[in-house]
Structure 1
Amino acid sequence: MQDCVFCKIVKKEIPAEIVYEDEHVMAFKDIHPAAPVHILLIPKKHISTFFDLTDEDVSIIGRVQLAAARVAKQLNLEEKGFRLVSNCKEDAGQLIFHIHYHLLGGRALQWPPG
């Protein structure tokens, strides 16, 4: 998608503070953090929402989950833990229509979130 900000970050057309990258996944710091640690994890393939996933995307989503664990370890969250959140569509708070996960940590997180 040409207008997708996350696709532009993947193509390095927009700068981001990247903390992890492999062939399928990119993770970078959120520019408006909601916790001391706030990382966005995205598949490099553009997939707008969970409703747009196909059978071929199963491994990509699994790779995002593995990347989340790797990033959490890298950021010393293994002992205390972290939250991994993804919003789907407007009512859930999805602002950028490219599947992404928020990895939040570095403090005690409340539940329910809102």
Structure 2
Amino acid sequence: MMTEDFYCDEVLSGKTEVNKVLETENVLAYHHTKPFYPVHIVAIPKKHIPSLITLEETDNELLIELMEVIKKVATKVTEENGACRVITNLGKYQESKHLHWHIVFGKPLK
């Protein structure tokens, strides 16, 4: 079972080591620790923001930086695999209450 905020509690704190794909001052993209797809990368802001629908106007610059990272990662995944999906979850679909995006390729594992 996930903690309320896996990203702050585990990833950003350094408790859980991750394989980084791209990092900026305010954003981290890394390979999912328990991937659901053959290619599964997560992009998160380093600032705690609960979800897409809780973003505030003061988060606009951070959101732009996050989207730039997602675009770079999605471009690389698409170049390597021919396609990708960019997904964010809300409400009961969002297990960890920290804004995050999945950049994935392939059919779900299992």
Give TM-score, length-normalised by structure 1.
0.78
Structure 1 residue matching 2:22: 3-state secondary structure: strand
Structure with the largest fraction of helix: 2
Structure 2 residue matching 1:14: 3-state secondary structure: coil
Query: 5+ residue gaps in structure 1?
Result: 110-114
Identity %: 27
How many residues align? The count is 103
Query: 5+ residue gaps in structure 2?
Result: none
2:65 — aligned with what?
A: 63
In 2: Cα distance, 1:24 partner to 1:73 partner: 20
Higher relative contact order (CA 8 A, sep 6+): 2
Aligned partner letter, 1:45: K
2:21 — aligned with what?
A: 19
Give TM-score, length-normalised by structure 2.
0.80
Aligned-CA RMSD value: 2.1
1:73 CA displacement: 3.7
